[in-house]
Amino acid sequence: MAKKSIFAHLFSMTVLVILFSFLVMGILMYGLLGNYLTNQKENDLIFVAENMAEFTVKMAIQNPNYAKENYQINLNALSQTTETMIAVVNTKGNVIATSTNHGNITLKREYYEDVMKGNRVRFLGTLGGVFNAPTLTVGIPIRYNENNIMGGVFVSLPVPEIHQLRTGVFRILLLPISLVLLVALVIIYAMSLRITKPIKALNRAAKAIADGHLEQRVSLSESNEIGELGESFNKMADSLQQIENMRSSFVANISHDLRTPMTTITGFVQGILDGTISPEKQNQYLSIVLDETKRLSRLVTDLLDISKLEQGSFPLEMREFDMNETIRLTIIKLEKRLEEKNIGLTVNFQSDSLRVIADKDSIQRVLTNLMDNALKFTDDGGFIDISTGLTDQSKAFISIQNSGIGIEEQDLKHIFDRFYKSDKSRSLDKNGTGLGLYIVKNIIKSHGETIWVESTPNEFTRFNFTLMPAKNNGGYRC
């Protein structure tokens, strides 16, 4: 089935709405115009009837001997001038005069009795069979004086003439309505093209990205929702390109990280099996094989943990523990490495104990990872500062700062991204895969807390994160 474009949908629906609106407006206008013309003609008929009634009374009072022929001539003249049928009846309903060519007519009592009571009447129909087609008729009493009624005047006009007049007026209005419709269609056509043009550009760019051209972008000048959509599309394309770059980098890094220990393990095991490595050195090389195996295990563990974190199935055992004590134990484990690089360590605890509620094992992993990073990127003779305490927002905070090369501004916003490594040369982080900080961020996020980084190149880097404090904490807030 052939696809219908957005432009076709938009244009056709708009045209249908406009046509339907004009149709409804035309029907209403036609009806209102009919009512207006009917009322207008009714007033005209009343005016004719009043003139005829006034003339009849005048002749009866001032000139009783006025010839009937002259009266008929005046009646016919008024009838022809106004294009109406006029009938004059006495109080008994007998017709005493009618317009020429209308012959002898007889009115039923139901049509004239209200007139003889002094009321005006209006009828729309054949007047009891007097006419062959629907006719508008008005009747008024002929008053000799205030209390005496000497008859009535009935003036009629065929309804088709009213319809013809209404149709004529409507035809006059049809031309400007058609012009308005034409102008509206042209405007809608232009607007539809303007709306669909950027959408088509987005569609082409999306297809290009789907085909692997991740550098594709759109340039939209609109300052409306479509313009915002274009900006969002470009941001999405940037993210996709960045993810693809990180994926390529990760594949290269993970291949290196897998190939290096596998090569070492294979080489040393092969050397032991074929006797190249002497028996007295086998334990030494088996120890290296064991270290490389543990390295592979850590890598696989990181990948599995990432999968759990992304699926929301990373288990957390929330309990209360002393964060300061956990930091002390971590420092003891890293004491040898601190001494090897002659790094000065400063610890600033606001209180001896900082009790928090969190998953101790995962927070230990966060702490070890951040401390390990600080050691890697701190030059010999540098410093590491660790601070803990409570904030004004009743949060426990932990801050780890180290001297060294720092992090460039363009790298800061990506430092927690998966597979990202700011040390592209791997000169300092030879064993890293770019997964550690991504895992750290997700562990803190899974606790409902925040982590952020501050850095000045060639001066310092400081990682900060928050935890939920236990209720029985002592000390003070900063």
Domain end (from 311, 344, 379)? 311
Give the phi and the psi of residue 301 in degrees, each rounded to 5.
-60, -45
The token duo for 264 is 């070492």
Query: Does residue 393 share a domain with residue 369?
Result: yes
Instruction: Give per-residue burial for 228-260: e unless 16+ CB within 10 Å, then b.
Output: ebbeebbeebeeebeeeebeebbeebbeebeee
Report helix, strand or coil for 469. strand
Residues 136 and 93 grouped into a single domain: yes
Are residues 259 and 143 part of one domain? no
- For residue 46, the cross-strand partners are none
List the one residue out of 288, 293, 290, 233 whose CA is nearest residue 262.
293
* CATH code of the domain in which 280 resides: 1.10.287.130
Query: Is residue 237 in some structural domain?
Result: yes
Name the CA radius of gyration of the chain, rounded. Answer: 50
| C-alpha dist (Å) from residue 220 to 7, 176, 193, 212, 441 | 18, 38, 14, 22, 35
Cβ-contact 133, 124 below 8 angstroms: no
Distances in Å between the Cα of 459 and the Cα atoms of 259, 372, 407, 427 are 35, 18, 9, 19
State which residues form the domain around 294.
Answer: 225-311
The verdict on 302 and 328 lying in the same domain is: no
Specify whether 323 is located in the same domain as 459: yes
- 283 and 337 in a single domain? The answer is no
Q: Are residues 461 and 364 in the same domain?
A: yes
Bridge partners (DSSP) listed for residue 26: none
284 with 421, same domain: the answer is no
Question: Are residues 374 and 402 in contact, defined by beta-carbon separation less than 8 angstroms?
Answer: yes
Residues 376 and 259 placed together within one structural domain of the fold: no
Q: Are residues 285 and 326 in the same domain?
A: no
The answer for residues whose C-beta is within 8 angstroms of residue 188's C-beta and 6 or more apart is 11, 14, 15, 18
Domain count, the chain: 3
**CA separation, residue 179 to residues 28, 33, 175, 185 (Å):** 19, 21, 6, 10
How far apart are the C-alpha atoms of 95 and 129, rounded to whole Å? 15
Residue where a domain terminates, one of 256, 286, 311: 311
d(CA 155, CA 51): 11
Q: Where in 302-428 does DSSP place strands (E)?
A: 318-322, 344-349, 355-359, 383-390, 396-403
Q: How far is CA 344 from CA 122, 382, 475, in A?
A: 112, 6, 26
Indicate whether 210 belongs to any domain.
no
CA distances for 31 relative to 25, 42, 136, 238, 446, angstroms: 10, 16, 17, 61, 69
In whole angstroms, what is the distance from residue 231 CA to residue 217 CA?
9
DSSP E strands, 31-174: 85-89, 95-98, 121-125, 135-143, 149-158
The torsion of the CA quartet 452, 457, 458, 464, rounded to 10 degrees, works out to: -10
pLDDT in tens for each of the 478 residues of the chain?
455 566 677 667 777 777 787 778 777 777 777 677 778 888 989 999 999 988 888 887 777 666 778 888 888 888 888 888 889 988 888 888 888 666 667 788 888 888 888 899 989 888 888 888 888 899 999 988 777 888 999 999 887 766 666 677 667 767 777 787 788 778 877 877 777 777 778 888 888 888 877 778 877 777 777 777 778 878 888 888 877 777 777 677 667 667 777 787 888 788 888 878 888 888 887 888 887 787 777 777 777 776 676 666 667 889 999 999 999 998 998 888 888 889 999 999 988 899 999 999 889 989 988 998 899 888 888 999 999 999 877 899 999 999 988 888 888 888 887 666 665 444 445 555 567 888 888 889 888 999 999 998 888 999 999 999 998 765 444 4
Confirm whether 229 is domain-assigned: yes
In angstroms, the CA 226 to CA 231 distance is 9
CATH number at residue 382: 3.30.565.10
Among residues 164, 191, 208, the one where a domain terminates is 164
Residues 295 and 340 in one domain: no
The span from the CA of 464 to the CA of 386, in Å, is 10
For residue 87, being part of any structural domain is answered with: yes
